Amino acid sequence: MKQTSIQPHDKKEAEKIAYFLIKSKYGNIPYPDTPILNEKEKIWNVPIKIRYPRILLDDYKKPKKVRFMQEKKVGEIEISSETGEIKSKPTYYELKSSINTYLESIRTTVEKALVKVGAKNFSQLPFPIHIHTPIIDILSNMLTVEKLDLSEELKILSDDDAKKYTRHIDALQKVGLVAVEGTVVFPGDLLIEIEAKGGNISKKLTNAMTIFFSRGYELIDSIRDVLGSHLTMSGIFYEYSLQYDEIIPFNLQSIENIFLGLPQYGMQRKLKIPRYLAQLESVGLIDDNINEKGEVVWCANEDIYRRILKEKELIGSLIGT
């Protein structure tokens, strides 16, 4: 692409070229950052960044304030400092992939903080929600038969299931809930402590899951296997609230639009959304209310939201602290 009307002998002209390219090729979300001149190569390097503002409307259809997430570089444009010719630029799909990776990192960070702070709440979700996860199978065995010989138990499973169980055993071992000697899995120190306090197996499982969430929040893939849609759904409320620096209420239509628009979900989950909301509300992860229009809205739990704000090491990169 050759620029004939603009010769970028200075920074401002290079930025202008990049600006028009970005708006015409990539849309309104990315923007050019300050160009950096490579004098040896005679090239202006112009970073492409995003802050990803999401404009929400209040009950009166007026835009709410936007709190930008910390900006992120998602690509770069190279422009000749002599001719104005664009030497290189990312493809639309490369930039889209980079933006999606950034947004996923935001979701992951928020979910980690939410799991850490809301561990006790998540552990109180009814077991049928995650009854098919190996985590519950493994812990239940530890609390009943007290050991598992993997050389015997895993050989009757498919390769995929065997790998899944092995991965989750590793996660439980990292947080101290199980111990492994050779091919045999035993209760770990923390699970032994739970057993010593007494109670039925259901209560012990709940306590073990609280420990797994609060100590293992970094093991987000294993935790997503356990909590699935419930973690994704609850994470939406806290991600938006962090971005706008206040607790944001959502009506059912807004929740459906956001949740069903995520890559891993589709319209087949629509009928399940009210159940997810009811279950998350029952354990105090979200709250409901009636807005001025008389419709039910849901929002992040204020106590959990305030506690997440204190997790500076986890979310500081998102809110600029």
C-alpha to C-alpha distance for 315 and 108, rounded to whole angstroms = 10
Indicate the CATH number of 229-319 among 1.10.530.10, 2.60.40.1180, 3.40.640.10, 1.10.10.10. Answer: 1.10.10.10
Please give the average per-residue pLDDT across 230-237, as a whole number.
95
**CA count, 13 A, side-chain hemisphere, 85:** 6
Q: What percent of the chain has pLDDT over 70?
A: 88
- 35, 44 contact by CB (below 8 A): yes
Tokens of 85: 């010719």
3-state DSSP assignment of residue 185: strand
pLDDT digits (tens, 9 = 90+) for 196-215: 998 899 999 999 999 999 99
pLDDT for residue 146: 86
Please give the average per-residue pLDDT across 105-113, as a whole number.
93
- Main-chain dihedrals φ then ψ at residue 279, nearest 5 degrees: -70, -40
C-alpha to C-alpha distance for 313 and 317, rounded to whole angstroms = 8
The gap from C-alpha 230 to its chain's centroid, in whole angstroms, comes to 12
C-alpha to C-alpha distance for 293 and 300, rounded to whole angstroms = 20
Please give the average per-residue pLDDT across 220-241, as a whole number.
93
Indicate the pLDDT class of residue 8, thresholds 50, 70 and 90.
low
pLDDT for residue 70: 64
Domain 124-226 falls in which CATH fold?
Answer: Arc Repressor Mutant, subunit A (1.10.10)
Q: How many residues does the chain have?
A: 321
Q: Record the pTM.
A: 0.83
With the C-alpha atoms ordered 193, 199, 202, 207, is the resulting torsion angle positive or negative? negative
pLDDT digits (tens, 9 = 90+) for 47-81: 999 876 555 555 544 555 555 556 789 999 999 99
- 269, 318 contact by CB (below 8 A): no
> Residue 119: pLDDT above 60?
yes
Of 213, 299, 180, which Cα lies nearest the Cα of 249?
A: 299
